[in-house]
């Protein structure tokens, strides 16, 4: 099963992807993670990525598609979760062609809908474990009183410098400008499902499972 998770920063895509990896054996393909992995790999593609990143240039769609092609031709396990890609209609077309080329299908596109003001309130209260990335929230899931991460026992926690209201509003605007055409694109293909991204974590998980188990 291959799926796309759509949603603005902080909608909970990473949390739901982790559930899918742990419970369904799926592989999360995060553009950022793939680029860092390629940069450090020493392969020909990795050298290209390292050179582009060292110059501070934007990585082209062709490079990202090349990295995804390598993943599709490897161990597929329980299928792939596309996280952060596609972001544009051109990328959506390229991904569709690549899946067809590898005899793969896109089984679901899940949009995690949010209320912007509630999302800003959520993210400005967010911190993560510096060791494992477990997410905490001052209001709904505070850092344990003993100062230790419940997932790994780490004691260092951090907040993103751009997790402030003004920066978040800019990031949301960028997301909606670039990604809103994808909503119509996948809706027209009959692949789009929507759910409330601001529900409780396990409620959202149940909604995701219901979409995938149809």
Active-site positions? 13, 87, 126, 160, 171
HEC secondary structure over the chain: CCEEEECCCCCCHHHHHHHHHHHHCCEEEEHHHHHHHHHCCCCHHHHHHHHHHHHCCCCCHHHHHHHHHHHHCCCCCCCEEEECCCCCHHHHHHHHHHHHHCCCCCCEEEEEECCHHHHHHHHHCEEEECCCCCEEECCCECCCCCCCCCCCCCCCEECCCCCCHHHHHHHHHHHHHHHHHHHHHHHHCCCEEEEECCCCHHHHHHHHHHHHCC
Dihedral sign for Cα atoms in the order 153, 158, 163, 164: positive
> Which tokens in the block code for residue 71?
């993943």
CB atoms within 10 A of CB 149: 20
């Amino acid at each position: 099963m291959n799926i796309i998770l759509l949603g603005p920063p902080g909608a909970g895509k990473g949390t739901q992807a982790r559930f899918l990896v742990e419970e369904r054996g799926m592989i999360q393909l995060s553009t950022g993670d793939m680029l860092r992995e390629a940069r450090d790999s020493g392969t020909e593609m990795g050298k290209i990525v390292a050179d582009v990143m060292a110059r501070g240039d934007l990585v082209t769609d062709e490079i990202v598609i090349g990295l995804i092609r390598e993943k599709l031709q490897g161990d597929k396990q329980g299928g792939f979760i596309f996280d952060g890609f596609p972001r544009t209609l051109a990328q959506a077309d390229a991904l569709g062609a690549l899946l067809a080329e590898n005899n793969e299908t896109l089984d679901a596109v899940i949009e995690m809908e949010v209320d912007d003001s509630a999302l800003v309130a959520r993210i400005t209260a967010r911190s993560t474990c510096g060791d494992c990335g477990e997410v905490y929230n001052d209001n709904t899931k505070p850092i344990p009183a003993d100062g230790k991460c419940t997932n790994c026992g780490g004691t260092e926690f951090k907040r993103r410098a751009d997790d402030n209201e003004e920066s978040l509003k800019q990031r949301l605007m960028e997301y909606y400008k670039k990604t809103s055409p994808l909503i119509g694109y996948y809706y027209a293909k009959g692949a789009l499902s929507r759910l409330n991204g601001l529900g409780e974590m396990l409620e959202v998980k149940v909604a995701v499972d219901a979409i995938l188990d149809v």
